């Protein structure tokens, strides 16, 4: 039995495939579907291993289980759903490693907001912090660099 023959399930799967890393509420809004119906069909897709989940910042995000993205790309995609973190990651990818002040200067974030997001990204292993005296230099974690390049090539944010 092909579970994707059901129109609602196919629609959910195609949406997750085209917009990886969406959370449940984002899916509800994008699909304009009843929460109970979405919950039921997601459960079916999960049990058939058509969709996989990842926990991020206290919420569950969904990815099509089609080998399009590996773990580094999925982790990056989850963080790139946050506009502030996306901006920080794009700047780190474009400039290599940056001092904290230079990185904050390239964004519109306040110092406390940038510090919070940088710590979150560091705790998740997305970025690396190297301290030299009183300076802190930030860069993408080496295993994330190629993943970020894959996402840019695929034009996915």
Cα–chain center distance at 96: 20
Residues 59 and 129 in one domain: no
What is the total count of domains within the chain? 2
- The alpha carbon of 61 is separated from its chain's Cα centroid by a whole number of angstroms, namely 8
| Residue-wise pLDDT tens digits, 44-66 | 999 999 998 888 767 788 988 87
Residue 47 shares a structural domain with residue 102 = no
11 shares its domain with 41: yes
My answer on whether 77 and 131 are in the same domain is: yes
Based on the fold, state whether residues 78 and 47 are members of the same structural domain: no
The boundaries of the domain holding residue 125 are: 73-153
Sign of CA dihedral 88, 92, 93, 95: positive
Task: Write the CB contacts of 56 (distance below 8 Å, at least 6 apart in sequence).
Answer: 75, 78, 79
Q: CATH code at 132? A: 1.10.10.10
| Spatial CB neighbours of 91, under 8 Å, sequence gap ≥ 6 | 98, 103, 106, 107
pLDDT of the residue at 110: 92
pTM confidence score: 0.73
Kindly state whether residues 24 and 80 are assigned to the same domain. no
57/80 same-domain check = no
Residue-wise pLDDT tens digits, 92-119: 988 988 998 899 899 989 999 999 999 9
Same domain assignment for residues 12 and 60:
yes
CB distance 37 to 44 below 8 Å: no
Confidence of residue 143 (pLDDT cuts 50, 70, 90): confident
| Intra-chain end-to-end CA distance of the chain, in Å | 33
Cβ atoms 59, 3 nearer than 8 A: no
Domain boundary residue, one of 67, 93, 111: 67
């Amino acid at each position: 039995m092909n579970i994707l023959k059901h129109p609602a399930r196919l629609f959910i799967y195609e949406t997750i495939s085209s917009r990886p890393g969406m959370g449940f509420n984002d899916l509800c809004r994008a699909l304009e579907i009843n929460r109970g119906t979405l919950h039921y069909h997601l459960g079916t897709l999960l049990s058939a291993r058509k969709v996989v989940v990842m926990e991020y910042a206290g919420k569950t995000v969904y990815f099509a289980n089609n080998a399009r993205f590996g773990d580094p790309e999925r982790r990056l995609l989850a963080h790139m759903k946050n506009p502030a973190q996306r901006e920080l990651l794009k700047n780190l990818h474009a400039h290599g490693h940056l001092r904290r002040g230079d990185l904050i200067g390239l964004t519109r974030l306040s110092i406390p907001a940038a510090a919070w997001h940088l710590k979150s990204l560091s705790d998740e292993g997305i970025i690396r912090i190297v301290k030299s005296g009183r300076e802190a230099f930030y860069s993408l974690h080496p295993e994330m660099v190629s993943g970020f390049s894959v996402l840019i090539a695929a034009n996915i944010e």
